[in-house]
Amino acid sequence: MTTTHSSNTRRPKSHRKSRLRLQAALATVAVAAGTGVYMSMPGEASAAVTGSATGFATQNGGTTGGEGGKTVRATTGTAIHEALCNRAAADTPITIEVEGTIDHGNTAKVSGDSCSTAAGVIELKEISNVSIVGVGKGATFDQLGIHIRASSNIIIQNVTVRNVKKSGSPLSNGGDAISMEDGVRNVWVDHATLEASGGESEGYDGLFDMKNDTKYVTLSYSTLRNSGRGGLIGSSETDVSNSFITFHHNLYENIDSRAPLLRGGTAHMYNNHYVSLNSSGINARAGAKAKVDNNYFEDSKDVLGTFYTDTAGYWQVSGNVFDNVTWSKASGDNKPAGPDPKSNTSVSVPYTFELDGADCVPAIVSRTAGANKGLKVSDGSCSPQIPAPSDPTPADPEPTEDEPTSPAPEPTASEPSEQEPTLPGGTNLSIGAGSDGSSRADGTSYGNVRDGKPNTYWSPQGSTGSVSVKWGTATKVSAINIREAAGSEGTIGSWRVLNGDTGAVLATGSGAGPVSFTGTSLKKVTFEITSAKGTPKVAEFETYAG
């Protein structure tokens, strides 16, 4: 086995988009009795999706979902099916805003000329121009998969799909969280959380599967976790008609394999964070071509290559970070790309995209990927932004008459105290915790800031960067203490302390030392250095409850 730690990153220009909010009173709604559907009145149109499609979903005419059509609100799976079936035609645009838990108990088959649905699964079959968007307190598809078949121009945004089974009980969608097949075109899945609770032996299959001539798909800002199989593109070595798939700013966590499995076709993976890929990761085979740019692979095994077949695939690699990645020795039908991955093909894409530096991918993905995270995206410089929607942001509550409808202010940082802060007391919670960050200079480690040793330290690559302390469960923190390594005292300039779960600013200031702020329950706290007199050296990042 060989373990590698390497990186090669670049940072492009940045831009910032403003956040808009419109009054909910502009849309008049009526209740469709007994169905759980709240439908806009005739003539009303809405574009509830936040942002625009990216990657390959922008090709082949683009992916706009239900843009320009009516908007309905659904709180049951049956209501989703009724909304599809009540359209004038199978291609009549519609946006379905979903809130609450969709499960087997509230998802029945509905018939109609504009739909073809089934019980126990959200069926998008032989239709087009549909958006499904989680709103309000969130949309959870519990043990119930979303099946897209022979359909086109579909958007799924801000939803959670969990624990879909192919064996055991209850069954849904062949065990896939989201699946596409039979000539599907132009699908954008964004800010979704797809998760299982085990592998095939526990009854689960893939989280995100494409087969039988599926093309022009983008999966962005989503979390895929706790599954034996992340997803596949092509169901067999002869199913090589699937192609033009983009994966960007996604978190793959605790996945055994298929992150994804690509049989034939072309896929582009950029700015994804892969953590705990237990057996293999991106598996290009049967002539597939993968463009792999500025991703961060961490604590994983055989993250790229051709596995479990003698039919080779190909890859073009650039700017990736391999942090504690273990590579097997090539033998038989296993051909890992490492320990020093090199390109063996050239892949071009027809769309424009902005790359975050791979060193900050863990930080930006943790703040943007998944459902109910505020629909934040990256601006290409490792800074999360909220794209301007044309309707209220799905995760936001609708404003009341007393609420201002101007853009929501950014979280307010606590003002630096005029008095010299005192050292916090109690137990240093960093000891025994985890850590990560935006970048690390050669010879330094994120773990050095929590080892209790003043002679070891972390430094960023350059004069600015961030380091975080994290826990497996929410932990209350109300103070930190930053200790610089001997000989580097006074190097740290300005800084921010961030809630690593939400990105909220807890405190700002300058120089090392103790920092106090309002007690906050979180899984991750980040110390971000925004200016320095040289290369900072943080020996200890101590955290305290109070």
The residue annotated as part of the active site, out of 225, 258, 450, 483, is 258
Q: Is 73 a catalytic residue?
A: no
Task: Count helices and strands (H / E) in the chain.
Answer: 2, 37
Rg of the chain over CA atoms, in angstroms? 24
* Residue 109, C-beta contacts closer than 8 angstroms, at least 6 positions apart: 81, 117, 118, 119
Q: Phi first, then psi: what are they for 81, rounded to 5°?
A: -65, -40
* Residue 255, C-beta contacts closer than 8 angstroms, at least 6 positions apart: 224, 225, 226, 227, 228, 229, 230, 274, 276, 277, 278, 281
Read off the tokens for 220: 């962005």
Continuous H helices in 254-374:
361-368
Contact of 490 with 511, CB cutoff 8 Å: yes
Cα dihedral: 402, 406, 407, 409 (round 10): -60
Nearest to 194 by CA among 141, 261, 247, 122: 141
3-state secondary structure of 506: strand
Q: Using the Cα atoms of residue 305, residue 258, residue 320 and residue 51 in order, give the sign of their dihedral.
A: positive
> 268 to each of 1, 232, 484, how far by Cα in Å?
28, 14, 41
Structure-token match 């692979």, residue found: 297
Strands (E), 400-512: 434-437, 465-484, 494-499, 505-510
3-state secondary structure 524-535: EEEEEECCECCC
Q: Phi first, then psi: what are they for 511, rounded to 5°?
A: 80, 155
Nearest to 22 by CA among 45, 38, 39, 42: 45
DSSP states along 40-94: EPTT-----S-S---GGGGSTT---TTTTSEEEEESSHHHHHHHHHTSSSTT--E
> Residue length, the chain?
546
Active-site residues, by number, are 258
